[in-house]
Each structure stands twice: as C-alpha cells, then as structure tokens.
Structure 1
Amino acid sequence: MIALISQRLLQAIVVILIMTVIVFIGVNVIGNPVDIMISPQADQAEKARIIAELGLDQPLWRQYLHFLSGFASGDFGVSYVHNRPAFAIILERLPATLELAVTAMLISVLVGVPLGLVAGLYPRTLFSRLLMSGSIVGFSLPTFWVGLLFIMFFSVHLGWLPSGGRGPTQTVLGIQWSFLSWEGLRHILLPALNLALFKASLVLRMTQAGVREVMPLNYVRLARAKGLGPARVIFVHVLRNVMIPVVTVIGLEFGSLIAFSVVTETIFAWPGMGKLIIDSIGVLDRPVMVAYLMLIVVMFVLINLIVDLIYGQLDPRVRQQIGGQRT
C-alpha cells in the first residue's frame, strides 16, 4: 500500500507541474488586461507604470518563475478588479460550489446505483427497460434547458422551491454552509437535481452494465452453489466488483461537477466559483483565472489520487501489481 501511495504521489506532482506550464501559457495568450483596465485617455507613462506594477513588462520565463513561486506559497497575486488576493476570493466561493457538487453526486449515487442494480439483475422487465430508456433521455437533455424547465415548473408554476440564490447560511468553523438549514436545502435542491441528472444516468448505466457482466461469472455461480443467500451474493460478491469501475467514474465525475458547474450556477444564480470565473474571463482578471484553474487542477489530481487508493482497496490485483514492480 505504501508503494502504491508513493507512486501515485509522484505521478500527481509531475501532472501538477505540467499543468502549471499549460495554465500559465494559456492564460498569458488571452488578450491584454491593460487594454481593459486602463482608460483610453491615459498617456503612455501611465500605461507603462501599470504594466510594471502588474509585472507584465518582465520576460515570459521570469513571469512563469514568479507564478510558480506564488503557486507554491498559495499567492496568485491581487485581483485586477476586486483589488484583493485572488486565492482568497476563490476560497470564499469554494464552499458554495463544493456543497452543490457533493449534493448532486450524492443524489446521483443514491439514485443511480440501486436503479442500475435492479436494471442489471432483471434486464428483461418493463421497469428495467424504462430505466434504461430514461437514462438515455438524461444523457441527451441540455443542462441549461433542464434548469430553465425546473425553474418554470417547480418555482413559477407550482411555487414549491425558490428559483435561485443560495438562501440563508449557517457558519461552521468559519465557513458559510447553506445545507444546514431547511431553507438552504430548498435553495440547493433544484440546482443539485439539474447537475445530478446526467451523472445519475451515467452511474445507472455503468452499474447495470457491470452487474450484467459479473452475474454469469464463475465465482458468482460458485457462491450460489455454496448456498449463500441472494442478498449476500449480490451485495458481497456482485456489487463489490461492480463498484470498482463505478468508483473510478464517480471520482472523475465529481471533479467535473466542481469544475464545470458554470451553467447551473449561472442559471440558478448560485454564488459559486463558476459564476466568478465567467465574470473574471469577461474582464481578463488573470490572477483570479489562474487561481481558479490551479485550484481545479489540484482538486482533480487529489480526487484521482483518492480514487486510485480506493481502487487499490477494492481490487487487490492493483496492490499486487505495484508490489511486483518493486521486486
């Protein structure tokens, strides 16, 4: 297990270093923030002063080294627009995005895994066929369109749920959370369902395919021949092996929920990182853009690392393979 952790940590560090280069180059080729920040009536001396303050007069390699040093210390510079540390602004919006992504993923797993298990165990029933057809619909519907339908139906027509905003929050350990109050849960339900629709369909189909693949295998037949009950066969022998690829997909999709919840946050006026990065791109606020992108990179790498470790616990062959490489 120690060998697996060491190998994955080394790979994670290499990936992060490569991504620092990609993010730095990508952000620096997007426009010139000076053109937005400086009035057209400003003279050349004023422009030169602001360019020097932003460090944009330095060679590109020196700007990268400064960026790398700041990344190591968590200092991405001061926002051009908010005049505050960019990383602090991102961290203020992070809890809202995290609780939205976690809620959406919990809904996806709690809905997708049981329904996928049923569809895999009884593939020929009408209910299973309806589930698989419904999952295709979940894949096909655009997120923004579904979000607008949710607002029109549940908020405007029925008046059951609020149409936007985060609602009241409760402070825990100095962080604002909305899921700790009933009103906050009412605000988070619609955007979480909007995000969970695609993910639940994916988890359902992954689980259903895994169950159908595992059920005819010899070790399942052997478990049945030993006289084990159906529940033990399904939850111990079938579901454990089915969850190996499902856990991998859940980890990757959770990262995508955090990174790509921009549309949902915009539709439901959810004050998370997605709305912030859209506004920052519009005004070329580079420090905020870089802080957001690097935070997403680190989170993706950490999520993949955790998924790999869980994968190693679920599948002993992974640990055996690492141990064989060491010898």
Structure 2
Amino acid sequence: MISYLARRLLTGLLVIVGVTVMVFGLTRLAGDPAALMLPPSASAADIAAMRARLGLDDPLPAQYLRFLAAAVRGDFGKSLRHGEPALPLLIARLPATFELGIAAVGLALVLAIPLGIVAALTRGSVLDVSLLGVAVLGQAVPNFWLAILLINVFSVGLGWFPTAGRTAGLASLVLPAVTTAMYLVGTQLRLVRG
C-alpha cells in the first residue's frame, strides 16, 4: 500500500512538473514579453532594459525556477494587456466560470438522465439507436466548432442570443452552457443507459 501511494505521489509530482514546464514554454512562444509590453516605437535599448528588468536575460533554467517560486507564492505575473497583476484578473472572472460550469452540469444532468432512461427502456429500438447516435455526436463534435455553429444559427441568423459577452443576463449564458453541456450529455446518457 505504501509503495502504491509513493508511486502515485511520484506520478503526480511528475505530471505537475511536466505541466509547469509546458506552461513556462508556451509563455515563451508568444514572443518576447519585453517587446510586447513596450510600445511599437520602443528602441532596442528600451527592449534590452526591459528584458534585464524582467530577468529575461537569465538562463532558461533560472527563469523556470523563478517562475515556479512565484507561482507557489501566488504571483502569476502581470497581464500583458492590462498591465495589472494577473491573479486579481483571474479571480474577478471566477464567478462567471462557476456560473457556466453549474449551468452546463445542470443542463447535462437534466437532459442525460431522462434520455438515458428512455434509451435503456427501449433498448435495441430506433429511438435507442438515435439517442446513442446523439450521445456519440455530443462526444465527437469539438466544442469550438459547435460554439461557432450555435452562434451562427441562434445569434447571427435568428438574433435570439447575444454573440458574445456577459451582458444580457441568462440569455448570454444559454449558448456557452449548451456548448459545454453537449459532451457531458453524451457521456452521462451512455452511462445511464448502461
């Protein structure tokens, strides 16, 4: 039992290290942060001074260790767009994230449980096969594509919902919740059907 727990902890630690290395690497792919933070008219000397101030001249391992230490302290740096610390910006958007998550899971359960029961009761029928087809489609269709399709039909075409933003109350939650819920509906429907 102890060896199992030790292996699981080691695996978890390796995953965390791998994810932090990927995040660190991806932030470097976006371009030179010093050049992005300065106006386009900044001179090479200004960019070099900003790089030195941010510690971007240090070797990558030193930058990575500094990145890890800052992340452990809850310091996720400054937003390139807003110039403010990133953590308060993330925290300010958490309510919308929780709202969307709760709406998507609630919608998925409301749809998947009854449909899964119907599919189980009519096993082998056309209705069962159709519901399983919808479930597989819900799992197979990429969320980004479904979102674009829903926006084109219900926002642009019919004008029923806003195309973006969080301004129209519950109406602005419908399309994101449906998009997020579709994969969950497919998964839960198949589980309930058995």
TM tier relative to shorter chain: 0.7 to 0.9
Give 1:44-63 correspondences, 5 Å limit.
44-63=44-63
Counterpart position of 2:99: 99
Q: How far apart are residue 52 of structure 1 and its match?
A: 1.4
Whether 2:189 is the aligned partner of 1:204: answer yes
Contact kept in structure 2, 1:122 and 1:128, CA below 8 Å? yes
Partner of 1:48, secondary structure, is helix
- Work out the CA distance in 2 between the residues paired with 1:130 and 1:93: 38
Instruction: Give structure 1 stretches of 5+ with no counterpart.
Output: 168-182, 212-327
Task: Evaluate the alpha carbon distance shift between residue 41 and residue 162 of structure 1 in structure 2; reply closer, same or farther with a 3 A threshold.
Answer: closer
Partner of 1:131, secondary structure, is helix
Counterpart position of 1:270: none
Q: How far apart are residue 43 of structure 1 and its match?
A: 3.2
Q: Structure 2 length normalisation: TM-score?
A: 0.78
Give 1:51-130 correspondences, 5 Å limit.
51-130=51-130
CA deviation profile, 1:32-91 (whole Å, cap 9, x unmatched): 233333345433332221111221111111111111110111112222331211122122
Contact kept in structure 2, 1:147 and 1:194, CA below 8 Å? no
Q: How far apart are residue 192 of structure 1 and its match?
A: 0.7
Counterpart position of 1:276: none
Task: Evaluate the alpha carbon distance shift between residue 46 and residue 162 of structure 1 in structure 2; reply closer, same or farther with a 3 A threshold.
Answer: closer
Q: Structure 1 length normalisation: TM-score?
A: 0.50
Partner of 2:87, secondary structure, is helix
Give 1:1-327 correspondences, 5 Å limit.
11-138=11-138, 139-140=140-141, 142-143=145-146, 144-152=148-156, 156=159, 159=160, 161-167=161-167, 184-208=169-193, 211=194
- Work out the CA distance in 1 between the residues paired with 2:115 and 2:66: 51
- Tell me the amino acid that sits aligned with residue 192 of structure 1: A
CA deviation profile, 1:200-227 (whole Å, cap 9, x unmatched): 123223433xx2xxxxxxxxxxxxxxxx
Contact kept in structure 2, 1:113 and 1:203, CA below 8 Å? yes
- Work out the CA distance in 1 between the residues paired with 2:5 and 2:114: 31
Partner of 2:56, secondary structure, is coil
Q: How far apart are residue 111 of structure 1 and its match?
A: 1.4
- Work out the CA distance in 2 between the residues paired with 1:199 and 1:165: 23
CA deviation profile, 1:106-134 (whole Å, cap 9, x unmatched): 21122123312331342133432332233
- Work out the CA distance in 2 between the residues paired with 1:109 and 1:5: 33
Q: How far apart are residue 96 of structure 1 and its match?
A: 1.1
Counterpart position of 1:325: none
CA deviation profile, 1:147-173 (whole Å, cap 9, x unmatched): 3223246x62xx4x5554324xxxxxx
Structure 1 runs of 4+ aligned residues shifted over 6 Å read 3-7
- Work out the CA distance in 2 between the residues paired with 1:140 and 1:76: 33
- Tell me the amino acid that sits aligned with residue 75 of structure 2: D
- Work out the CA distance in 2 between the residues paired with 1:162 and 1:47: 41
- Tell me the amino acid that sits aligned with residue 61 of structure 2: W
Higher relative contact order (Cα pairs below 8 Å, separated by 6+ residues): 1
Taking only aligned residues, the RMSD between alpha carbons, in angstroms, comes to 3.1
- Work out the CA distance in 1 between the residues paired with 2:4 and 2:29: 38
Instruction: Give structure 2 stretches of 5+ with no counterpart.
Output: none
Residues matched between the structures, number: 190
- Work out the CA distance in 2 between the residues paired with 1:5 and 1:108: 34
